[in-house]
Chains A and B, each alone.
Chain A
Amino acid sequence: GAGVSQSPSNKVTEKGKDVELRCDPISGHTALYWYRQRLGQGLEFLIYFQGNSAPDKSGLPSDRFSAERTGESVSTLTIQRTQQEDSAVYLCASSLGGRGGTEAFFGQGTRLTVV
C-alpha cells in the first residue's frame, strides 16, 4: 500500500481480554516500530523489528505484551489480559532501515480503550 496501515483504528475491550493490533508497513521497509502514546503524552517506545527479528524489545511494559513480524511485512502486537492502564493509542511506523537518515512513516494508530 501507499502508506502504513493499522487495524483496527479503534478497539474497545473488556478488562482481562486479549487484543491483537495489526500493522502493515510500507512495502520494502525493513524496519518497523511500535510505540504507545497515552493521552497528552509523548511516544513510548515498545519494540522495533529489523526484518523479522526484534533487536530491541526493551520497551515492552510487561510479559502481557508481545509482538511478532512475519515475511518482513505485517506485524502484530498482542496484549494479553488487558488492563485499564493499557488504554492508549498504539502507533506503528516503518522505515527503510539500515544506516542512513531515512525517516519513519507512521500509521494512523489504533486507539485502544479498556473498560
Chain B
Amino acid sequence: AQKITQTQPGMFVQEKEAVTLDCTYDTSDQSYGLFWYKQPSSGEMIFLIYQGSYDEQNATEGRYSLNFQKARKSANLVISASQLGDSAMYFCAMRGFTGGGNKLTFGTGTQLKVEL
C-alpha cells in the first residue's frame, strides 16, 4: 500500500522568498517515483518535478527543487524566488514500480498563496 501525507493545508509566502512544501510517504515498494504537480485555480494539473527512489542527486527544474530524504521518507518541494503566479494548489504523488503495479497516489495538497 502507498500513502502520501501533506500536513500543510495552506501556506503563505512573500514574493521573491523561498518556500518549502512538505511531503512524506509510506510504501512497501523498494523502487518508486515521487512527483509534484501544481493545480492553479483554472483546474489543470501541471507536472513540476520528478525524483526516483534510486536517484543519487536531488531533482531540480528551474526554480523547483526536490529535497529528497529517503531514510525519512520525505520529498519536500522547494520553490525559490516565489512569484505571484506560483499561487496554486500543490500535490505530491508517488508511483511504486513493483510487478505490474503502476498506481499513482496523491496527497491531499497544500494551497500556496504568494503575497506582495
Asked if B47 contacts A35 (CB within 8 A), the reply is no
Q: Which residues of the partner chain B approach A42 to less than 8 Å between Cβ atoms?
A: 91, 106-109
Which residues of chain A from 43 to 84 have a CB within 8 Å of any chain B CB?
A: 43, 45, 48, 50, 55-56
Q: Is A108 an interface residue (CB 8 A)?
A: yes
A45 touches B105 (CB 8 A): yes
Q: Mark B46-57, 1 if CB is under 8 A from A, else 0.
A: 010011100000
Kindly supply a per-residue 1/0 record for chain B positions 100-115, scoring 1 wherever the CB is within 8 Å of any chain A CB and 0 otherwise. Answer: 1111111111000000
B102 near A98 with CB under 8 A, answer: yes
Q: Does B33 count as interface, using CB distance less than 8 angstroms?
A: yes
Q: Is the CB of B102 within 8 A of A31?
A: yes
Q: Is A103 an interface residue (CB 8 A)?
A: yes
- Given the complex of chains A and B, what is the CA–CA distance between A50 and B101 in angstroms? 9
* B97 at the A interface (CB under 8 A): yes
Q: Quick one: which of B43, B47, B101, B102 has the most chain A CB within 10 A?
A: B102
Question: What is the interface of chain A, defined by CB distance below 8 A to chain B?
Answer: 31, 33, 35, 41-43, 45, 48, 50, 55-56, 89, 91, 93, 95, 97-101, 103-106, 108-109
Q: Which residues of B are at the interface with A, using a C-beta cutoff of 8 A? A: 31, 33, 35, 37, 43-45, 47, 50-52, 91, 95, 97, 100-109
21 A-B pairs within 8 Å (CB atoms) are namely A42-B106, A43-B91, A45-B103, A45-B105, A48-B102, A56-B103, A91-B45, A93-B45, A97-B102, A98-B102, A100-B97, A101-B50, A103-B35, A103-B50, A104-B35, A104-B47, A104-B104, A105-B47, A106-B37, A106-B44, A106-B45
Question: Lowest 7 A-B CB distances belong to which pairs?
Answer: A106-B45, A42-B108, A101-B33, A43-B106, A103-B47, A99-B97, A101-B50
